Amino acid sequence: MSTFVTYTLSNGLRLCLEPLDHVPSAACGFLVRTGSRDEQPAEQGVSHFLEHMCFKGTAQTDCVAINQRFDRLGSKHNAFTSQEKTMYYGWVPAENLVPQLELLAEMMRSTLPQAEFETEKQVILEEIAMYRDSLQSCMFELASQELFGGTPLAHSVLGSPETIGPLTRAQMADYHARRYGPENLLFVASGRFEPEALRDRVEACCGDWPRAAGGRVQGTPQLRNGVAKQRHEKFKQQALMLCFPAPPAVDDDARVPVLARILGGENSRIYWNVIQHGVCANAGAFYMSYSDIGVFVLYAVCEPERAPAALQALRAEAAQMQRLGAQSDEVQRVANTMRTNAARDGDAPMRRLMQLANDIDVLGEPRTLEQQLARIEAVTAADLRALLASHPINGEGMLVSVGPADWPR
């Protein structure tokens, strides 16, 4: 049974610590409640750019020394930026957790060195160019623009050459001051450590951080039906997404990932009835969840001439699921796999770190491994029928198509 230690510093920084005495390692990280949907139009991409810059130097440590310190700690470290969050983290032998905390905390107050800023800007521009050479990336970008258009959720996480090119260090520093206040951050740790001592060290490192004023204006989009397509002759295959409204992340609806796995995961209906029947080699289903909106997606990547058949096959699977629902055996098999994955993650401090950070960010509180397992076990075939009644997947939906073909016409 997990025992959480939670605490909030006087400046608003929230801590969630999960000691696991049976493991020899520990992971910790800072989650910043900011991402591409928190950016102004002229600063699109600044959240991701800032993530890079936090590794580029502080008042005490330059870029090279930061990376060398991670290596000396034996840390498996990284960071990522999404539409709604930025996360910095590392996984180390238990005895190195405190120095890793100290390094990560130092990085949260990066000085954004000007020389490194100009160099890293070119790296970001190259990353954008590589992204635009990816068929799946172009598909996701078009889908976001069409599904979430008119709201900041449509912003590209990477930004564009038109926004990154003219971005200044002063703009980034202003964004950092607005968005990286302690009341907008969460510190999480999982693994072998003494929680009171770790809490005291976090307070010593972070307790003097000044509050900021940045909140989030959600701008929740209203999903629409229709067709969005882009023709790119540089690609050899056609990618398509069929999108439907789904519950938002805040609903914590375990039925949606179960449905996605039955329809489009390993050994799923789409695998056996679409891929194994030779319609296309890559197809499935997944769930995109944001704090205030969700999207259920059926997708396929195929030869351009096979796109109509792939779409027809996806719609047929969706229609059958809508009409007849899932079988109890399907639900049980998927639940068994998900339970195994959750149990495995419960013994890995890094995976628990991510679970806890997501739970607190979205739901406001952490969940034990036992609560995670019970949530999955509770889903039944009748629950899935109720989900499909409230969120059907057999309507028109939003069809997104990207590739060399001007399809559909």
Long-range contacts of 320-324 (CB under 8 A, 24+ apart): 320/269, 321/259, 321/262, 321/263, 321/269, 321/388, 321/393, 322/388, 322/392, 322/393, 322/394, 323/394
Cβ–Cβ < 8 Å for 245, 223? yes
Q: Each residue of 157-172: pLDDT tens digit?
A: 999 999 999 999 999 9
Predicted pLDDT at 180: 97
Q: Which of 145, 178, 206 is the last residue of a domain?
A: 206
pLDDT at residue 295 in the model = 98
How far apart are alpha carbons 392 and 373 in whole angstroms? 27
Domain co-membership, 267 together with 192? no
Sign of CA dihedral 126, 128, 129, 130: positive
Q: What is the mean pLDDT of the chain?
A: 95
> CB of 228 within 8 A of CB of 400?
yes
Q: Are residues 9 and 132 in the same domain?
A: yes
* 182 prior amide bond cis, ω within 30: no
- Amino acid symbol at 96: N
Supply the range of the domain harboring residue 127. Answer: 5-206
Number of residues in the chain: 409
- The answer on 165 and 40 residing in a single domain is yes
Residues of the chain with pLDDT under 50: 1
Q: What is the CA radius of gyration of the chain?
A: 22
Spatial contact of 138 and 130, defined as CB atoms under 8 Å apart: no
**β-strand 398-403 against 293-302: which pairing, if any?**
unpaired
Is 29 within the bounds of a domain? Answer: yes
Residues 232 and 148 in one domain: no
Residue-level pLDDT at 344: 83
DSSP conformation letters of 255-316 = HHHHHHHHHHSTT-HHIIIIITTTS-SEEEEEEEEETTEEEEEEEEEE-GGGHHHHHHHHHH
Distance CA(409)–CA(399), nearest Å, equals 12
| Domain identity same for 46 and 165 | yes
pLDDT of residue 104: 98
pLDDT of residue 134: 96
Residue 107 lies in a domain: yes
Residues 188 and 248 in one domain: no
Q: Decide if 214 is inside a domain.
A: no
Whether residue 284 is contained in a domain is answered as yes
CATH no. for residue 377?
3.30.830.10
- Domain boundary among the residues 171, 206, 241 is at 206
What residue has token string 């952490």? Answer: 366
DSSP state of 409: -
Same domain for 155 and 54: yes
Provide the number of structural domains found in the chain: 2
Q: Same structural domain for residues 243 and 152?
A: no
What is the DSSP secondary-structure string of 331-391?
HHHHHHHHHHHHHHHHT-HHHHHHHHHHHHHHHSS---HHHHHHHHHT--HHHHHHHHHHS
User: What would the 3-class secondary structure string for 214-260 be?
Assistant: CCCCCCCCCCCCEEEEEECCCCCCEEEEEEEEECCHHHCCCHHHHHH
How far is the C-alpha of 284 from the C-alpha of 317, rounded, in Å? Answer: 11
In a domain, 149, yes or no: yes
What is residue 369's predicted lDDT score, i.e. its pLDDT?
Answer: 85
Q: Are residues 233 and 199 in the same domain?
A: no
Order of strands across the sheet that contains 5-8: 5-8, 14-19, 185-191, 25-32, 86-93, 76-81
Full-model pTM? 0.95
Give residues with Cβ within 8 angstroms of 192, minimum separation 6. 19, 20, 21, 22, 23, 24, 25, 26, 94
Alpha helices, H only, 42-96: 46-53, 63-72
> How confident is the model over 189-233, as pLDDT tens digits?
999 999 999 999 999 999 999 998 767 766 788 898 999 999 999
Indicate whether 281 and 185 sit together in one domain.
Answer: no
pLDDT at 217: 67
Q: What's the token pair of residue 251?
A: 């609903």
The answer to whether residue 238 is domain-embedded is yes
Residue 70 counted as domain residue: yes
Residue 241 sits at φ, ψ, to 5 deg, of -130, 135
Question: Which has the closest alpha carbon to 94: 192, 194, 196?
Answer: 192
pLDDT, position 111: 98
> CA–CA distance from 164 to each of 46, 84, 334 (Å)?
7, 19, 43
Contact present, 405 and 234 (Cβ < 8 Å): no
Asked whether the beta carbons of 268 and 284 are under 8 A apart, the reply is yes
Q: Is residue 168 domain-shared with residue 84, that is, in the same domain?
A: yes
Grouping H, G, I as helix, E, B as strand and the rest as coil, residue 151 is coil
Domain boundary residue among 206, 241, 274? Answer: 206
Query: Based on the domain organization, do 16 and 164 belong to the same domain?
Result: yes
Is the residue at 347 inside a domain? yes
Q: What pLDDT was estimated at residue 2?
A: 54
